[in-house]
Amino acid sequence: MCETNKWYESINEKYIRDKERFIKSMEAMLDTPRAFKSRTEKAAEDNLKYLCRDIKTKHNAWYKLPCGHIKMISNGDFYKKVFHCYGCDVLLWEKEAEEKDMTFIKKIDGEKALYQLNECKHSIVLGTFHVRKYKNRYCEECHIEELKSIADSRGLDFIEKADGKSRKAVYRFRQCGHTHTLYTHHVKKEGFSCQTCNPILNKRMKALNNKGVFIDSLDEEQFDKSMVAQMGKATSIEKWTREATEKDLTFLCRDKDIGNFGWYKLPCSHIKRISIVNIRNCKDSKNIICPYCLENSRIQSAKEKGLELLQVLNGDKALYRFEKCGHTREVYISDVERNHQVLCHECVVDKWKKEAKEANLTFIEKTENKKALYKCNCCETLQEFYIIAVRNKEFICKGCKEKQ
């Protein structure tokens, strides 16, 4: 039926998908002599060499392609003559990586693969299409080291990048201990200051504490000017007062600079500048959001989960500090306010690294489906394992197994 020697064990697993499955299929040899002969003859018509039926799926079989690589082909693809070679793809990816001063390591999933940059020896996950198209490759680890070095020379501690696609990062000011998100090019050119210690911001915070005014662009002085001016006709003021009373609000005055806005006292006793038209069209005061109460609610929700709210980044996310470890992380505000578990990513990664070290492995990165990429400290083979399997030490290193 086929060669008796185990030639298939010496195949380079880089050029075949699931080498272990192929070996099991060859050793099982599920074909009858008659079926093996029939399939061999059909494969020869397409210049293929039939090897064996797949051990897991009866509709799949293993063939040797004209290029010499081994591939599992389904019955449907065989009759449609779809014989695309994965091993030849790997050879192409290796060649393209070499042209870009990189080393192809392994395919991960979809269009992505793991590469090593020859200059800095760092590993990076890229799409094979991007390696083919772009000339220069940006190394995230080298960039982080550069940001840390620049921050250190500016009296800052680099914490993390705010967003993988943004030009911002989170820094801690050594002098005052405050943490803020800054543009990296501002830090490089020394065009930054602590937003908490800034005198203008201090003045705004004083206005908040004294009168409960929570307006991003205006402060206590603007409110006082509007109260002194008392702009508007008596009939208009009477109308605005009546409309506010119907919505359980208190009209205080018309804004001095923007005529279609007024200052109102909310049921919570805080003062806010609101469009007069919005007051007229809303159903009741429940439709008016008090930013000061909203901020207090977010702070309280964070405190209940052992977090400290540092900064609201946009309408959905905010920057939090974990009180237990001091690390910071961007989290969806809704996840904090609801009963969702919020974990520190840095602490989780440290835990994975510790578990890997106990299993004589080196943690590289999280991949997908509860898996991570590890490097064996004995044979230096890069492999994917389930994280829980590494934790329980229930995994088998293919590299060490082949050496035995």
- Convert the pLDDT of each residue in 88-99 to its tens digit: 888 888 888 888
Is residue 194 in some structural domain?
no
The pairing of beta strand 271-275 with beta strand 307-312: unpaired
**How many structural domains compose the chain?**
6
Is residue 148 in some structural domain?
yes
User: What share of the chain in percent tops pLDDT 70?
Assistant: 85
Residue with tokens 């840095």, as numbered in its chain: 346
Of the pLDDT bands very low, low, confident and very high (cuts 50, 70, 90), residue 18 is: confident
Is the pLDDT assigned to residue 134 strictly greater than 60? yes
d(CA 133, CA 78): 32
Of the pLDDT bands very low, low, confident and very high (cuts 50, 70, 90), residue 215 is: very low
Answer yes or no: do 251 and 326 share one domain.
Answer: no
Nearest to 278 by CA among 255, 257, 247, 252: 247
Answer yes or no: do 43 and 121 share one domain.
Answer: no
Is the pLDDT assigned to residue 372 strictly greater than 80? yes
What angle, rounded to 10 degrees, do the helices at 220-229 and 199-211 form?
Answer: 60
d(CA 169, CA 181): 5
Answer yes or no: do 311 and 383 share one domain.
Answer: no
d(CA 36, CA 66): 19
Residue 164 confidence (pLDDT): 62
Is the pLDDT assigned to residue 200 strictly greater than 50? no
User: What share of the chain in percent tops pLDDT 90?
Assistant: 1
Residue 333 confidence (pLDDT): 84
Answer yes or no: do 395 and 369 share one domain.
Answer: yes
Of the pLDDT bands very low, low, confident and very high (cuts 50, 70, 90), residue 201 is: very low
pTM higher than 0.85, yes or no? no
For residue 259 the two structure tokens come to 């005529």
For residue 83 the two structure tokens come to 């014989």
Q: Which domain holds residue 257?
A: 199-289
Is residue 386 in some structural domain?
yes
Q: Tell me the mean pLDDT in the region 96-121.
A: 82
Nearest to 160 by CA among 172, 149, 152, 150: 172
d(CA 106, CA 116): 10
Is residue 394 in some structural domain?
yes
Answer yes or no: do 300 and 352 share one domain.
Answer: no
By the 8 A CB rule, do 171 and 158 touch? yes
Strand order from edge to edge, sheet including 250-254: 250-254, 261-265, 271-275
Answer yes or no: do 284 and 296 share one domain.
Answer: no
Of the pLDDT bands very low, low, confident and very high (cuts 50, 70, 90), residue 253 is: confident
Answer yes or no: do 76 and 43 share one domain.
Answer: yes
Residue 303 confidence (pLDDT): 84
Is residue 66 in some structural domain?
yes
d(CA 383, CA 5): 28
Is the pLDDT assigned to residue 221 strictly greater than 70? no
Answer yes or no: do 93 and 33 share one domain.
Answer: no
Residue 229 confidence (pLDDT): 64
Answer yes or no: do 266 and 210 share one domain.
Answer: yes
Structural domain ending residue among the three candidates 58, 84, 110: 84
* Amino acid in the structure at residue 2: C
Answer yes or no: do 12 and 60 share one domain.
Answer: yes
Across 31-52, b (16+ Cβ under 10 Å) vs e yields: beeeebeebbeebeeeebebbb
Q: Is the dihedral of CA 204, 208, 213, 215 positive or negative?
A: positive
Of the pLDDT bands very low, low, confident and very high (cuts 50, 70, 90), residue 82 is: confident
Is residue 1 in some structural domain?
no
Nearest to 262 by CA among 226, 234, 221: 226
Answer yes or no: do 160 and 204 share one domain.
Answer: no
Is residue 13 in some structural domain?
yes
Answer yes or no: do 259 and 306 share one domain.
Answer: no
Q: Is the dihedral of CA 99, 101, 105, 110 positive or negative?
A: negative
Is the pLDDT assigned to residue 165 strictly greater than 80? no
Is residue 193 in some structural domain?
no
d(CA 361, CA 352): 10
